[in-house]
Amino acid sequence: MVGPAGTEQARASLAQVTRRGTEVLRWAAGRAGTVVVADCGRLDAGSPALKVVQDADVLLLLARAYDDALAHVATQWPTVARWTRQPSLVLVGDGYPTDEVTRALDIPVTARLPEDPAGAAVLGGRPGRRSAPARSSLGRALAHLAEATASRATAVPPDEPTTSLSISPTARGNDPRTVWR
C-alpha cells in the first residue's frame, strides 16, 4: 500500500483505510501467497497509521545508519515496542556497520536494504518496466525481507486472531515477482 507524499493527504488516505478498523488490510492479507506491506511513514501517537501498526503481525522500522536517524530510533524504540508485538529494525544504505548498530542500540537489526534510487522510484509508482522491481537490488532485497518477515509473522500466534493482520509466505518460494502483485 503506497500512500500519497503529502502529510495531510496521507493522513486522509489512512483515515479512509482505517475507518472501519483494518478490515480491508486483513481481507487482502487473507489471500493465499499474499504479503501486505503498509508504508505508514513517520509514526507518532496521533497518527491514523497507528491502527495499522497495532494490528500488524510485524512492524519493520526503517532507518538510515547515521547518527541523526539512529538517535531518533534510540529515543523512540521503547514507544514503538509498546505498539506492536514484533518490532524490527531495518537499516537502509551505508553508514555504521550492522553489528555496531545492534551493539550500540541493543536492538537487533533484521535486515539491511541497499541504496537504490532507481529501484525505489519504480517501487514508488514511477513509470518503468513491470519486471524492474524484481531486477533491482532493492526489489530483490525487499523480496527476501518480505519472505523472512512472512515466516516470522506466521510463526507467532496473534493475541487476537480475529483482529490481527495476517501475513502469509509467498506461494512460489523465493521468486521475487510474487511479492509485487
If pLDDT is split at 50, 70 and 90, which confidence band does 27 have? Answer: confident
Compute the average pLDDT of residues 15-36: 73
pLDDT at 66 over 60: yes
SS (H, E, C) the chain: CCCCCCHHHHHHHHHHHCCCCCHHHHHHHCCCCCCCCCCCCCCCCCCCCHHHHHHECCEEEEEEECHHHHHHHHHHHHHHHHHCCCEEEEEEEEECCHHHHHHHHCCCEEEEECCCHHHHHHHCCCCCCCCHHHHCHHHHHHHHHHHHHHHHHHHCCCCCCCCCECCCCCCCCCCHHHHHC
Q: How far apart are CA 106 and CA 114, in angstroms?
A: 22
Mean pLDDT, the chain, whole residue set: 77
pLDDT value, residue 156: 52
Tell me whether strands 59-65 and 109-113 are parallel, antiparallel or unpaired: unpaired
- Dihedral, CA atoms, 8, 59, 178, 30, nearest 10 degrees? -90
pLDDT value, residue 167: 40
Digit-coded pLDDT (tens) for 114-162? 999 888 888 777 776 655 666 789 989 998 998 888 887 765 554 544 3
If pLDDT is split at 50, 70 and 90, which confidence band does 163 have? Answer: very low
